[in-house]
Amino acid sequence: MLNWDDPLAKPAPIESTPAPANTETQPAHPHVVEEAARAMQAEEQAEAMASMEPVNPDDKRVINGMTDINQLAPFKYPWAWEYFLNANKNHWTPLDINMAQDVHDYQHKLTLEERHVYENVLSYLTTSDILAMRNIGLAVMEKMSAPELQIYQARQVYEESLHTWTYQHCIETIGLDQGEIYNRYRVVPEINKKIQITNRRLASILRADIDLRDPDELQNFVMAYIFFAAIFEGCWFYNGFSPIFALQRRGLMKGTAEQLQYIMRDEVLHASFGIRVVKQIIQEENITLDKQVLREMWDESEAAEIGYASYILRDPILGYSQEDHVGQFRFIANRRARQLGIDEPFPGAEATLPWLDEQAHLRKEKNFFETRVTEYQTGGALKWD
């Protein structure tokens, strides 16, 4: 009989062997626990649908909702649908951008210090976007109980995959040692520190037995979401592209920088959406954030960013330094805090890279025959706030 899962596989012989006797009680496999949790959630939603009454959008909730997750409209969160529509306007692939000049720049123009910056920025970003993809796709999206939220997050998962492809395309095109670049996050303490902080936050909510009706679990979930939206994507990513943009401003590595511009546009939307969702959860679930826990999160993130900057910029490059990098982190952190409606973590911090926002807002005019990149509906059509 044809195997529909693998049409090329040879049919396996059918054997009937008695199950071995087992007198000891074995612990449930994690997959069994996870399936049981999913089954319970599905049963609860089925019970809610049993009345067959039309969905009232007022009954929808971000999490812990009991309305039909399969019914998109009427919207309760029309802004989430707008994020999805807006995200689709920034459509591109790394193959659209000419990297020939980057190869020449890397081989003949970059100094050793600039190569060090370029390689380590890519090394950090490659791992980080995979973590971002796993966070949204595996830890967050399934907990949303309104489909308009899930639909944008599904697009976000795709975009994180696209970003990972972009970094890989740059690494491969330049001719870097892939094994060495991809392993730096494991052997360079200053990069590893940021990854470990992120892994810890992800692991705390990537559990099959998590119950968001429990106040402690809910508080931890919200804090993890704040970390990923406001710090990981909103600060570390946003700030993480700036060393490459500094090279671009001097006419170097322009292909790589252009790809990061498109990624930056995605990340701005990711951070903004995540912050909007967090604020909605706080409102619906009547949550009061622990200021001390927030302070510790900002301090830990700042310390990791200082360590990272001290490594990638151990020798400053023309137009960019450790002080610039860390100062801009603090400035952007204050901006994310204001978006969240919480106290600024670094009062008085000023922008040390006043040109950075231009990279996201920049609208490029291009000759189609010089590059395959077109603006489609991008650039000025996108809303960034």
Among 124, 167, 262, 311, the one annotated catalytic: 167
Q: Is the pLDDT of residue 132 over 70?
A: yes
- Residue 35: inside a domain, yes or no? no
Mean pLDDT to the nearest integer, 111-125: 95
What is the structure's pLDDT at 92? 86
Q: Is the pLDDT of residue 56 over 90?
A: no
In the annotated binding site for Fe cation, the residues are 129, 160, 163, 233, 267, 270
What is the structure's pLDDT at 43? 65
Q: How many CB atoms lie within 10 A of CB 169?
A: 18
Residues sharing a CB contact under 8 Å with residue 347, sequence separation 6 or more, in sequence order: 334
The tens digit of pLDDT for each residue in 363-372 reads 554 433 344 4
Q: Is the pLDDT of residue 99 over 60?
A: yes
Percent of the chain residues past pLDDT 70, beyond the cut: 79
| Residue 72 confidence class, pLDDT cut points 50, 70, 90 | confident
Closest to 171 in 3D by CA, of 235, 94, 232, 266 = 94
Q: Is the pLDDT of residue 375 over 50?
A: no
| Exposed e or buried b per residue across 280-292, where buried means at least 16 C-beta atoms within 10 angstroms of its C-beta | bbbeebebebeee
Mean pLDDT to the nearest integer, 277-281: 95
The tens digit of pLDDT for each residue in 245-260 reads 999 999 999 999 999 9
Beta-bridged to residue 317, according to DSSP, are: 320
Closest to 249 in 3D by CA, of 312, 343, 320 = 320
The answer to whether residues 198 and 129 touch, using CB atoms and an 8 Å cutoff, is no
Lowest mean pLDDT among 16-30, 99-113, 162-176, 319-333: 16-30
- Residue 181: inside a domain, yes or no? yes
The answer to whether residues 47 and 67 touch, using CB atoms and an 8 Å cutoff, is no
| Residue 241 confidence class, pLDDT cut points 50, 70, 90 | very high
185 is catalytic: no
Residues sharing a CB contact under 8 Å with residue 12, sequence separation 6 or more, in sequence order: none
What is the structure's pLDDT at 62? 84
Q: Find the radius of gyration of the CA atoms of the chain.
A: 23
- Residue 6: inside a domain, yes or no? no
- Residue 65: inside a domain, yes or no? no
What CATH number should be reported for the domain holding residue 341?
1.10.620.20
| Residue 22 to residues 18, 25, 26, 28, 33, Cα–Cα distance (Å) | 12, 8, 9, 14, 20
- Residue 151: inside a domain, yes or no? yes
**Cα-based angle 311, 312, 317 (whole degrees, multiple of 5):** 125
Lowest mean pLDDT among 20-24, 88-92, 160-164, 308-312: 20-24
Mean pLDDT to the nearest integer, 367-381: 42
Q: Cis bond leading into 74, ω under 30°?
A: yes
Q: Give the chain's domain count.
A: 1
Domain that holds residue 365: 81-381
- Residue 306: inside a domain, yes or no? yes
The answer to whether residues 87 and 157 touch, using CB atoms and an 8 Å cutoff, is no
Q: Is the pLDDT of residue 52 over 90?
A: no
Closest to 144 in 3D by CA, of 242, 58, 238, 77 = 77
What is the structure's pLDDT at 54? 79
Q: What is the DSSP string of 13-57?
A: PP---PPPP--SPPPPPHHHHHHHHHHHHHHHHHHHHTT-PPPPG
Helix (H, G, I), strand (E, B) or coil at 286: coil
- Residue 51: inside a domain, yes or no? no
| Residue 38 confidence class, pLDDT cut points 50, 70, 90 | low
In the annotated binding site, the residues are 129, 160, 163, 233, 267, 270
What is the structure's pLDDT at 27? 56
Helix (H, G, I), strand (E, B) or coil at 342: coil
What is the structure's pLDDT at 73? 86
Backbone angles phi, psi at 320, to 5 degrees: -160, 140
- Residue 62: inside a domain, yes or no? no
Q: Is the pLDDT of residue 197 over 60?
A: yes
pTM: 0.80
